[in-house]
């Protein structure tokens, strides 16, 4: 089986497993404690997806013949600091420009005035 088909099978197994695990998880949590009554089914479905994604990750990686981190054949990034700074700038500058634009156009208002 090709790797793309294995990836599709992994995604399918995660969604199907999450769909099968979520209802019993939801029902048992509501029986167990009143604390969980404030959470809707969607929250339990998301948790079930995460549980299944972690549970099926090990067999998926084994099917790709990845037994250790060395099997990925990754080299050390010689420009790690440059890449970190570039990532922060590429994420931070548009965020800052967007925030200033939203505040300047009064779409968002600050709760307290900036001195």
What is residue 6's predicted lDDT score, i.e. its pLDDT?
A: 94
| Interval 22-54: pLDDT, tens | 999 999 998 888 888 889 999 999 999 999 999
**What is the C-alpha separation between 59 and 52, in angstroms, rounded?**
12
pTM over cut 0.85: no
Selection from 40, 50, 57 nearest residue 18 by Cα: 50
- pLDDT level of residue 112 (50, 70, 90 thresholds): confident
- pLDDT level of residue 109 (50, 70, 90 thresholds): confident
């Amino acid at each position: 089986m090709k790797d793309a088909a294995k990836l599709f099978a992994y995604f399918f197994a995660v969604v199907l497993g999450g769909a099968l695990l979520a209802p019993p998880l939801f029902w048992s949590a509501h029986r167990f404690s009143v604390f969980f009554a404030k959470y809707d089914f969607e929250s339990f479905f998301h948790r079930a997806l995460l549980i299944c994604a972690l549970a099926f990750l090990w067999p998926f990686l084994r099917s790709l013949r990845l037994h250790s981190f060395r099997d990925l054949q990754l080299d050390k990034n010689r420009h790690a600091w440059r890449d970190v700074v570039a990532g922060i700038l590429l994420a931070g500058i548009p965020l800052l420009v967007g925030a200033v634009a939203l505040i300047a156009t009064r779409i968002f208002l600050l709760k307290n005035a900036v001195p």
